[in-house]
Structure 1
Amino acid sequence: MSVAFRFCTIVCVCASLIVSASAAPKAEMPTPARPQYVIISFDGAHDLAQWQRSRNLAARTGASFTYFLSCVFLLTRETRNVYRAPGKSAGRSNVGFAQSKKEVGDRLAQIWLAHAEGHDIASHGCGHFDGKDWSRADWRSEFRSFAAILRDAYNINEIAGEPQGWKQFSENEIIGFRAPYLATGKALFTALAESGFTYDASGVSRGPNEPESGGGLIRFALPQIAEGPKERRVIAMDYNLFVRHSGGKEIDDTGSAFEDRAYGAFLAAFDEQYRGSRIPLQIGFHFTLMNGGAYWRALERFAGDVCTRADVKCVSYKEYLASQRPAQAAGAGLGG
C-alpha cells in the first residue's frame, strides 16, 4: 500500500468521524433538582433571649425565619388599654403584656434588626384569643389593632428613637398571618384577603403539602410528621411535641431523650422530601423553652445539619413566595 493511499485513508476516516460527531444529536444536560425548601417560623415572638438566639442560628446557618408577632408584647400594663379584642373589654390578653417600657423598646429593636437581616415579620394577631367563632368584622378589628399598635408602638409607649422607615415597614411589609391555636374559619380567610394579607399559615395537613391559592390568599399548612418509636403523626411544632412527650407538663430532658426524638422526627420528615418530590417542609416553634429547651436544641441541630447544604434553602414564608411567584410577595400590606 502506498504512502499516499495510507494518508488518504487516515484523513477520510478522521473526516468521517468529525462529520458523524457533528451530526449526532447533542445529549441533553440533566435538569438540576428542585431545591429542598425548609420554612421555620416562630409564634408569639416574645422572649428577648430567644429573639437573639434565633437570629444567631440564622447567622450560623444562612437561614431566614418568619416571626409571627403577638402585638400585646408591644404594650405594657400602663398602655394595654390601647388594645380591645373582639367581644372583650379593653386591656385583655390571653398571654399578658410586656413588663416594662424598656422591654418593649428592646423587643422593637430586635424586630427591626431581624427585618434588616431579611427575616419575615408577620402577624399572630394581638391577644392570642381563639377566633374560630369570630365574624369577618371581628377579624378585621383584630387586624386593625395589630396594624395600629405595630405602627405606633414607639409613640404609644413614649419610646424615643423610632427608626427611619419603621412606619413604611409596618404598613407595607406585614403580609402573613398565623391564627392563635391554628383556629380558622371562612370568616378569617375572607377578612385576611380584604385586609391586604398575601398568605395564611394556619393550616394543618397530614404530611407536607404544597401551598394552595384561592380567594386572594396563599394558604400554607403545618404538616403532621411521624415521631417516636411507633412513628405516630404529630404536628411539626414544638408545643405539640411537648404535649406528646410529657402531657404538657415541664420535665427536664435528662439524657436528651425528648431532644433526640424531636431531632429524629424533623430529620426523617426532611429526608423523605429531600429524596422524593421535595415538597417544602414547614416547622413551627414558639419563643418558650419547653422540657428544658429540648425542642430548641433539636431545632438548632436540625438547622445546622440541613440549612447549610447547597441544595437546601431554609427560608421564611415571604422569601419562599418571592422565589416562586415574585408578584405574590410584593405590594401587599395590612389594611383596615
Structure 2
Amino acid sequence: MKAATRRIAVGVAATALIAELVGCSVLDAADGSAAAKQGAPGAKKGAPAPKSAVRLIGDGSTAFTGPQSGLLKPRRLKPGQQPPQFVVFSWDGAGEDSQKLFSHFRKVGKKYDATMTYFLSGVYLLPEEKANLYDPPQHSPGRSDIGFNDTQGIRDTVRQLRGAWQDGNEVGTHFNGHFCGNEGGVGQWSVDEWRSEISQARSFVKNWRTNAGLEGEQPLPFDYDKELIGARTPCLEGRTNFVRAAAELGFRYDTSGINDQIWPKKDLGLWDLSLQMVPVPGRAFETLSMDYNFMVNQSGTVKGDPSKYEYWGNQMRDGLVKAFDRAYNGNRAPLIIGNHFESWNGGTYMRAVEETIATVCVKRDVQCVSFRQLADWLDAQDPEVLRKLRTLPVGQAPGNGWAAFLATQPAGAPGSTKAKQADRH
C-alpha cells in the first residue's frame, strides 16, 4: 500500500521454552484444475448456486447476489465414522498491492481445491484523504498504525475480495488501525470500544464506493452484515473483551488465541478456532502456526541472512506438515494456520505456505476450508461426539480405532438411524 506506514506490530505470549512473539504487518497469477481427492466422508463441496438478481445495499458498495457457491455441505458424522481432516489457511490484513499475493493465492486455492479466510483490514478500503472518518478507540481521529490506502489500492483490493468470495472463500475482519502494545493498544480496549471498532470496520466495507469515489466499480457480492462472522485481533491482543463484544453482535467464531492441536470448543457461544502450537523441526520447542512466529524464531528480523532463506522456508513448511501429519494420523483435530501477504526474508514464508497447501490439501479425507465452513461443520455435529473428540490429546488416535471410539450416539439424536436414512437423499 503506497500510503501505509511500514510497521510490524508485536505482541508477546509466553511458552515453556521461548517467548512467543505474535504480530502482523501492513501489506508491502494461471489457474489449475482442482486436485483429485477421494471423498472426505460427509464433506462434499456444493455445486454452484443458480444466478439471481443483484440487489444493491446502501451506496452500492455491497450487494445481495444470492447464496455463496462452492461451500462445504456440513453433515453429521455417522456412528463410528472417522472425522475428516480440516485445515484452515487464513490471511491477516488481506489486501492486494504491488506484490499481487492476494491474487496469487486465490489461484493456488483453485489449483488445490482449497478455500480460505481473508481477514480484511477496514482501513485498506479507506483512502488517506478520508482518514478522519476513522475514529479509533483511545486514539485521535485519522490515526492508524498501518496507514490507509490510495484509490488504485482500494480498486485492486475490492476486485480480489469480490473474486475471492465468488470462489467460495470467506471475508472476515482484522479490524482497522492495528494498534498493539500497552498505550491505547487493543489489549486495553473495553467491550464498548470493541463494538465501535467492529462497527467502523463494517462501515468502511459498506461504503468504499463513496469514500474512494469509485462509483463505477462493481459491488462486493455479499451483505457484509451477514458475511462477517469471525475475526482475528491484531497481535492476538484484547481477545477477552473482543469475544464479549463479538458474542453480543452475533459472531460465530474467534481465532485470536493460542491453542494446542485438539478439537475446539465454544467460548461465550463462539467457536474458539485459535492458532495452534506446532513443531519447529530441528529445535527443542514449538511455535505458533503463523509465518510471523517462524520468522521471529529464525531471524528476528524481516531481512535476515539471505543464505538461510531456503532453510528457514523449508523449516516452516516441514513444521506445518509435521503438525498436519500428527493430526491426520492422530486425533484429526482441525489444523489452523495464519499468514500475512508479505515478503519477509525474501518471501520464503510465502513459498512455505504454498508448498504446504500443495502437500496437504490433495490428501484423502482432507478438507482445506474457511473458518465459516469449519464452524458450519462443527455446528452440525452432535455435541456429545465433539466432547468425546476433545478428550483426545495432541497427535493421539483412538486406541481401539475410530469405529469403536465413535460407535454410538444418543438415541433420537439427528445422527440416529432415522436421520441417517434421510441424509442419503
TM-score category (smaller protein): 0.7 to 0.9
Cα 1:309–1:159 change in 2 (3 A) is same
Corresponding position: 1:38 with 2:87: yes
Which residue, out of 151, 176, 184, partners 1:126? 176
Which residue, out of 214, 222, 244, partners 1:159? 214
Cα 1:32–1:187 change in 2 (3 A) is closer
Q: Which amino acid aligns with 1:85?
A: P
Q: Which amino acid aligns with 1:259?
A: G
Corresponding position: 1:116 with 2:166: yes
Runs of 4+ in structure 1 deviating by more than 4 angstroms, as ranges, are 29-32
Which residue, out of 297, 316, 321, partners 2:370? 316
Which residue, out of 335, 340, 363, partners 1:286? 340
Q: Which amino acid aligns with 1:135?
A: S
Q: Give the corresponding residue for 1:299.
A: 353
Q: Give the corresponding residue for 2:4.
A: none
Would you say the 8 A contact 1:93–1:128 is kept in 2? yes
Q: Give the corresponding residue for 1:5.
A: none
Q: Give the corresponding residue for 2:294.
A: 241
Q: Give the corresponding residue for 1:4.
A: none
Corresponding position: 1:138 with 2:155: no
Would you say the 8 A contact 1:209–1:221 is kept in 2? no
Deviation by residue 1:169-212 (Cα, 9 ceiling, x = unmatched):
2221111111000002432211111122111110102x213222
Structure (1 or 2) with the greater helix fraction = 1
Corresponding position: 1:271 with 2:322: no
Q: For 2:317 and 2:335, how far apart are their aligned partners in 1?
A: 14
Q: Give the corresponding residue for 2:392.
A: none
Q: How many residue pairs were aligned?
A: 296
Which residue, out of 216, 232, 235, partners 1:178? 232
Give 3-state SS (helix, strand or coil) of 1:111's partner.
Answer: helix
Q: Give the corresponding residue for 1:55.
A: 106
Q: Which amino acid aligns with 1:147?
A: R
Q: For 1:47 and 1:165, how far apart are their aligned partners in 2?
A: 15
Would you say the 8 A contact 2:187–2:237 is kept in 1? yes
Q: Which amino acid aligns with 1:312?
A: V
Corresponding position: 1:225 with 2:278: yes
Q: For 1:230 and 1:210, how far apart are their aligned partners in 2?
A: 25
TM-score normalised by the chain length of structure 1: 0.84
Give 3-state SS (helix, strand or coil) of 1:132's partner.
Answer: helix
Residue 253 of structure 1: how far off its partner (Å): 5.4
Q: For 1:164 and 1:102, how far apart are their aligned partners in 2?
A: 16
Cα 1:164–1:286 change in 2 (3 A) is closer
Q: For 2:316 and 2:218, how far apart are their aligned partners in 1?
A: 39
Would you say the 8 A contact 1:253–1:291 is kept in 2? no
Q: Give the corresponding residue for 1:103.
A: 153
Q: Give the corresponding residue for 2:316.
A: 262
Corresponding position: 1:216 with 2:265: no
Q: For 1:267 and 1:85, how far apart are their aligned partners in 2?
A: 39
Q: Which amino acid aligns with 2:156?
A: D
TM-score normalised by the chain length of structure 2: 0.67
Deviation by residue 1:203-256 (Cα, 9 ceiling, x = unmatched):
102x21322213232221211111031241100100001111101241235561
Q: Give the corresponding residue for 1:333.
A: none
Q: For 2:172 and 2:334, how far apart are their aligned partners in 1?
A: 19
Moved more, 243-252 or 66-75: 243-252
Would you say the 8 A contact 2:172–2:231 is kept in 1? yes
Q: For 2:354 and 2:225, how far apart are their aligned partners in 1?
A: 32
Q: Give the corresponding residue for 2:254.
A: 200
Cα 1:75–1:276 change in 2 (3 A) is same
Structure 1: runs of 5 or more not aligned: 1-28, 328-336
Cα 1:232–1:276 change in 2 (3 A) is same
Q: Which amino acid aligns with 1:79?
A: K
Q: For 1:87 and 1:140, how far apart are their aligned partners in 2?
A: 13
Cα 1:112–1:326 change in 2 (3 A) is farther
Cα 1:314–1:87 change in 2 (3 A) is same
Q: For 1:160 and 1:310, how far apart are their aligned partners in 2?
A: 45
Cα 1:224–1:284 change in 2 (3 A) is same
